[in-house]
Amino acid sequence: MKKCSSFLLVSFLLSLNVDVTANDLASNGVIVPSNLVQGCLVVATVAPGYSVNYKGKPLKINDNGTFILGLGRDAGEVMRLLVVDDKGHEEDYTFPVTKRKYNIQSVEGVPQRTVTPNPEDIARIRQDSLLVRNARQGVSGRQDFLAGFRKPLEGPVTGVYGSQRVYNGTPKNPHYGVDYAAPTGTIVRAPAAGVVQLAHSDLFAAGIARSGAYNRTLTPFGFQAEERTFWQAPEVYFAMGPFMHADKMKTPLLMIHGIADNNSGTFPLQSERFYNALKGHGATVRLVMLPAESHGYAAKESIYHMLWETDKWLMKYVKNKNITD
């Protein structure tokens, strides 16, 4: 979205409709939303020349004095900010935080491997967590959050932020995102503009990509929420294009594309070039071009063939990935 920077705070607070007077700004030097809740994204403003520290760390402040921070799922009753004015004077400010009620489910009879993963699974979980943690390091000066966030798609919500399951009496990690359900093939959009911080195919057993856009330099005048051209922000186009990271992609990938795709952002050339790049780097990849199909597949034969290819791929590289032929 997660995405939010590299971490995802889907339950966010972006409304700046706060009852704040000019006197508040003059006396406190900082304006924050009045309705802070656990797990929210806080967009606040500080007076020019001021600095702000949260939990002992300095916050990035843009030229307009706007800064951002995320309150944890189980944040305490108050948010504490250390504000340093333009003369070097320090002062602590506290702001009340409303406690949220989360959906906690207790499930009995769950397989023990789900409750207590085996050593191999634990090692993989730790490896993946380290990759994500490293990707979150550093502070970006991007201000995409000021434009707000949008749903990645329209569909029923199947998982909510902060929910947690207790398997056989053992609490598992809470859910830190929002899950949406939609039919296969639904376009999923980025909730906001940003830069991909982690592109690593080995996070999954296998992948399936359909009618995708893999090289953003082929759509140089903007894509999704990115309105800048390639020449204005080449680093964004490079980071957002899987094609540019083909040398790192080692997980088996099935690609399916309609040979008559007339969507300007997903011409068949996208899949053809990405496939060639992956093959050139020794990746396990298969490209299936569906005859006479556009961006969405219509013919019954095409849909059946897509399902057959998908089933074969998942059976070989997911369900039976540890079984030699």
- At 27-86, the pLDDT tens digits run 357 888 888 999 999 999 998 889 999 999 999 998 889 999 999 999 999 999 999 998
Q: In the chain, where are the structural domains located?
A: 22-96, 199-325
298 vs 218, 243, 304, 311, CA distance in Å?
26, 28, 10, 19
> Tokens 């059946």 correspond to what residue?
304
Q: What is the Cα–Cα distance from 136 to 5, expressed in whole angstroms?
A: 7
* 148 alpha carbon, distance to own chain's centre: 15
* pLDDT at res. 201: 59
Read off the pLDDT of each residue in 128-144 and give the average, rounded to a whole number: 81
User: Does the domain at residues 199-325 carry the CATH identifier 3.40.50.1820?
Assistant: yes
Q: What is the Cα–Cα distance from 309 to 210, expressed in whole angstroms?
A: 12
Query: What percentage of the chain has pLDDT greater than the value 90?
Result: 49
* pLDDT at res. 51: 93
* pLDDT at res. 288: 98
* pLDDT at res. 138: 73
Is pLDDT of 22 > 80? Answer: no
Is pLDDT of 256 > 50? Answer: yes
Is pLDDT of 299 > 90? Answer: yes
CATH number given to 22-96: 2.60.40
What is the rounded average pLDDT for all residues in the chain? Answer: 84
Using a 10 angstrom Cβ sphere, with 0-12 exposed, 13-18 middle and 19 or more buried, the burial of residue 143 is: middle
| pTM, 2 dp | 0.56
* pLDDT at res. 322: 66
User: What are residue 254's DSSP bridge partners?
Assistant: 208, 286
* pLDDT at res. 26: 32
